[in-house]
Amino acid sequence: MSKPKIRVLIVDDSAVVRQTMSELLSADPEIEVMATAADPFVAADRIAEQVPDVITLDIEMPHMDGLTFLQKIMSQHPIPVVICSSLAGEGAESALKALEYGAVEIIAKPRIGSKQFLQESRETICDAVKAAASAHVRVHRPSRVVEPKLTADAILSPASHAMVETTEKVVAIGASTGGTEALKILLEALPADAPGIVIVQHMPELFTRAFANRLDSLCKITVKEAESNDTVLRGRALIAPGNHHLLLKRSGARYYVEIKDGPLVCRHRPSVDVLFRSAARYAGQNAVGVILTGMGDDGANGMLEMKQAGAVTIAQDEATCVVFGMPNEAIKRSAVDKILPLQSVAGAILAHAR
């Protein structure tokens, strides 16, 4: 018996986007476009007729904005939602709020040439819909008040155990579908003097800066979008910029990062495998590797290399994952030392970093 197709409802006020999305999704043998809607009110009628498996949702629409519609969906009839959003500042901020409200993925709208962009992004969009279809939809978790961060002077002072030896631990984290909220929970739990962290989260270009800024406002540690030659420091997390690979490097006792262009690796750029392999090479047993929720197998082979190089490796457990794909693939490869619920990962990182 053949597997049922994933039924998708496309909600977007642009007729060009609706048509192109329909064409590229329908071309995938695993996906069926159930219906399209130009605004949330039409979408509500479509859902009343037949409940889709996945909704692709524009943020800026007439009559009712996408965020309000998303909140109504999640409170009344939770359905996996993929946000189709603008790359610009306010669009990125709204898309990140949508992830907090329960959306599971972001795909980027182009600044110009929507049809061409969407055709070139066929693989990314189909993967996002498939990931959403297998996702466990989560409830919105309110953010907490943040204590003041350490100053740069405090981070670098000898009293706070600055990076003066190559035995300093470095934490490499990889995540995809559901990872934005998982990273928020994990990083919020870390103290201001946590070990230096490097992160790859699958996310479109220009969303990562808004994401880093959002986390920075919520966490005790400092969080920023990584730039080439940024030093990996205690109390700071560096997030790979969208559409660029992030590599960990070392010069003497100093760990730093390098931002690289290049082909997709495991269907992604940035790729978790690229980060983990560089951590295996340059940090070895001084590294802690963490693989979080996500679709596919990106990071599984790189985590195995980290383990073989002496690093401690941790995978998020199935019960707390939105999608158990990436952690499960790492577990299958015997690349994981510990399988933990998300709420226990921060404690495990700190225990191994001491």
Using alpha carbons only, give the angle 138, 213, 89 rounded to the nearest 5 degrees.
90
Distance CA 234, CA 242 (A): 23
Pairing verdict, β 287-291 and 6-11: unpaired
Query: Active-site residue among 12, 58, 230, 298?
Result: 298
Domains assigned to the chain: 6-133 (3.40.50.2300), 152-353 (3.40.50.180)
Query: Active-site residue among 85, 86, 94, 202?
Result: 202
160 is catalytic: no
Please, what sign has the CA dihedral across residues 306, 310, 311, 317? positive
pLDDT tens digits for range 75-125? 888 999 999 887 656 678 888 889 989 999 998 775 556 566 665 678 888
* CA terminus-to-terminus distance, the chain: 53
Both tokens of residue 309?
Answer: 């190089």
Q: Is the peptide bond before 29 cis (omega within 30 degrees of 0)?
A: no
User: How far, in whole angstroms, is CA 336 from its chain's centroid?
Assistant: 20
List of the chain residues with pLDDT < 70:
1, 87-90, 110-120, 138-167
Distance CA 92, CA 226 (A): 17
How many Cβ atoms are within 10 Å of 249's Cβ, its own excluded? 16
Report DSSP state, residue 318.
G
Q: Closest by alpha carbon to 125, among 33, 61, 262?
A: 33
Query: Active-site residue among 176, 216, 268, 317?
Result: 176
Distance CA 250, CA 234 (A): 15
Both tokens of residue 310?
Answer: 């002496």
pLDDT tens digits for range 137-167? 865 554 454 445 544 333 333 333 333 345 6
136 is catalytic: no
Amino acid, res. 62: P
User: How far, in whole angstroms, is CA 354 from its chain's centroid?
Assistant: 27
298 is catalytic: yes
Both tokens of residue 37?
Answer: 């809607």
Beta bridge partners of 200: 174
Q: Is residue 101 within 8 Å of 72, Cβ to Cβ?
A: no
